[in-house]
Structure 1
């Protein structure tokens, strides 16, 4: 476990946190024998967290497993980054241009 923590530190990865039920694993035993832990996590570096600052991690529910599925909503706010919120629109007329294929290949 120490090696894993060192790896997270070396790669500058941090836990993204979560929304929902606090545990991701349950041994499914009766009341007093029941154990629950947050075993599953999602980590990211600072660059990713800055780009997708509006993201959220959700712990979902599963009848079929003792682990809860994780759902990452990767969101970013274009307005915060100073970019236009206008959607990209492909123009069919661009296909008629001689360099269309070359431009697409480069990108």
Structure 2
């Protein structure tokens, strides 16, 4: 990408699901980091980075988690954090079998972080998926701040107002 004279690479990630193959994801990230220039990885890594990113289930770190952690540390990649709910994946309806994990994230090189110090990540509202969508804002502006456009918001209390139905029908 080239924005304002700054060139950098974005790599979308969908990490291997099978434990035996997860090393392929870490190897790919390592190979791509050997090229010069700022880089950011984003997507579903299919692995947690830290123990506190798991709730429910066995709740223990997997071998592939430590391999992921070692890859991130050795390449000096930075987890860009998030705004919103902490988890990005959820399975199970009942409390006893519910599992939540932070599998989706953005990781960036030191040079990318230096070029975009105001970058922010947002965990958006999940809809019809077991994954939460994630959004990276490079400009540091808060999400939802629009310049000219004002959003219409319907208030349920208006239904109690006489003539509300007429106004809606006419609109």
Sort the TM-score into its range (normalised by shorter chain): 0.5 to 0.7
- Deviations, residues 40-80 of structure 1 (Å, cap 9, x unaligned): 1211111111111111000012222101011000126xxxx
- The aligned counterpart of 1:50 is 114
Q: How does 1:1-107 map to 2 (within 5 A)?
A: 1=64, 2-75=66-139
Unaligned runs of 5+ in 2: 1-63, 141-171
Q: Which has the larger radius of gyration?
A: 1
Relative to the length of structure 2, the TM-score reads 0.41
Structure 1: which 4+ aligned runs deviate by more than 3 Å?
A: none
State the 1:39 CA deviation: 1.6
Q: Which runs of 5+ in 1 are unaligned?
A: 77-107
May I ask how many residue pairs the two structures share in their alignment?
Answer: 77
User: How far does residue 25 in structure 1 lie from its aligned partner after superposition?
Assistant: 0.8
- Which structure has more relative contact order (CA 8 Å, sep 6+)? It is 1
Confirm or deny: 8 A CA contact 1:28 1:66 kept in the other structure.
Answer: no
Q: Summarize deviations over 1:2-45 as a string: whole Å, max 9, x none.
A: 33222212211011100001110110422332221212121111
Alignment RMSD, CA only?
A: 1.9
Contact 1:15/1:44, CA 8 A, preserved across alignment: yes
CA–CA distance in 2 between the matches of 1:30 and 1:72?
31
> More strand by proportion, 1 or 2?
2
